[in-house]
Amino acid sequence: MLTTLENPEIAIDYIAEIVRLKKEMNAVILAHYYQVPEIQDLADFVGDSLELSRKAKETDADVIVFCGVHFMAETAKIFNPDKQVLLPDLDAGCSLADSCPGPLFKEFREKYPDHYSVTYINCTADVKALSDVIITSSSAEKILRNIPADKPILFAPDRNLGAYFAKKLGREMLLWQGDCIVHVAFSERRIEQLMIEHPNAVLIAHPECEEHILKRAEYIGSTSALLTYTETSPHMSFIVATEEGILHQMKKRSPNKEFIPAPPEDKGCMCNQCPYMRLNTLEKLYSCMKNRTPEIILPQDIIDKALVPLNRMLEWTKVD
């Protein structure tokens, strides 16, 4: 039982109320792995960006409550223009999406008209509307392999993810210079120290991390791939270089294994937690369902244009 911030005298059982509202509204709650544990535990589905896009496209619920960041809720809206899509906190943005404003991206595209534009899903709907195909970290390899070898590629907005796949596939790409504030905060020095203190622990990392961190990793993958790896690998201890929220699912799935969050350089900061993802709280989730706001609204022409590269991503990564 918790009280509301607006009215501390009134005690509300948020979990029970959210469950009740969900039924009343015929809503589905989708949550990313970087959400706080209490939201992950309440959600109908928890997943990575690709899985959440698939769920958003398939749902027959009337309302989608998206516990993630703005670009993820926008993606759900693009797939469901006739449904109401709610986001607990409209300020839940993303440093990658912010690094790539639509008008600048348009200029970039116009400068290289012969290039195929491959864009990470962590971008605004305007940028999606200007792209040829959207990728996520778990679908990038398959999609990039599908583009003819002689076709030059523009990759936006994550320079680290782009550089990782360029190297892995031996394919040159023109990279937009954006990055994720969480994944560039990890300290190589402190990770090294942890490896000495925990000699049996292996480092696993998300490809949004910088190359000097990735070089030391035993395994590199999207949030879902990292989760599966910790379940199936014979190792018993892991240093995890991605947002700390994923540790909740890792511990749930492998209760006997040890998970250590990779540390940022500054001991005092909580830089391995995404400040945008963490804006969503149980109270805001309850409030957005009760008041049916904040809601994601997008212009129809942007929806129509952005749907093309998003559908292409799902088509090229279809699981038969």
**The entry of ligand 13P, ligand SF4, none that residue 59 binds, CB within 5 to 8 Å by partner kind:** none
Nearest distance from residue 283's CB to ligand 13P, in Å? 22
Nearest distance from residue 208's CB to ligand SF4, in Å? 6
**The entry of ligand 13P, ligand SF4, none that residue 120 binds, CB within 5 to 8 Å by partner kind:** none
Q: Give the three-state DSSP class for 146.
A: coil
Kindly list the residues in this chain that would bind ligand 13P in the complex (CB under 6 A): 48-49, 122, 136-138, 180, 208, 222-223
259 touches ligand SF4 by CB under 6 A = no
Closest CB to ligand 13P among 120 and 286? 120
**The entry of ligand SF4, ligand 13P, none that residue 95 binds, CB within 5 to 8 Å by partner kind:** ligand SF4
d(CA 78, CA 302) in angstroms, rounded, equals: 8
* Cβ proximity of 182 and 271 under 8 Å: yes
* Residue 303 DSSP class: H
Closest CB to ligand 13P among 136 and 272? 136
Q: Which stretch binds ligand SF4 (CB under 6 A): 78-86, 94-102, 233-241, 291-299?
A: 94-102
* Cβ proximity of 225 and 139 under 8 Å: no
Among candidate residues 121, 69, 134, 195, the one with its CA nearest the CA of residue 205: 195
* Cβ proximity of 281 and 36 under 8 Å: yes
274 touches ligand SF4 by CB under 6 A = yes
Maximum Cα interatomic distance, the chain, rounded to a whole number of Å: 66
123 touches ligand SF4 by CB under 6 A = no
- The 3-state secondary structure of 96-130 reads HHHCCCHHHHHHHHHHCCCCEEEEECCCCHHHHHC
135 touches ligand SF4 by CB under 6 A = no
Q: Residue numbers of the site for ligand SF4 (CB under 6 A)? A: 34, 69, 94-96, 122, 180-182, 243, 274, 276-277
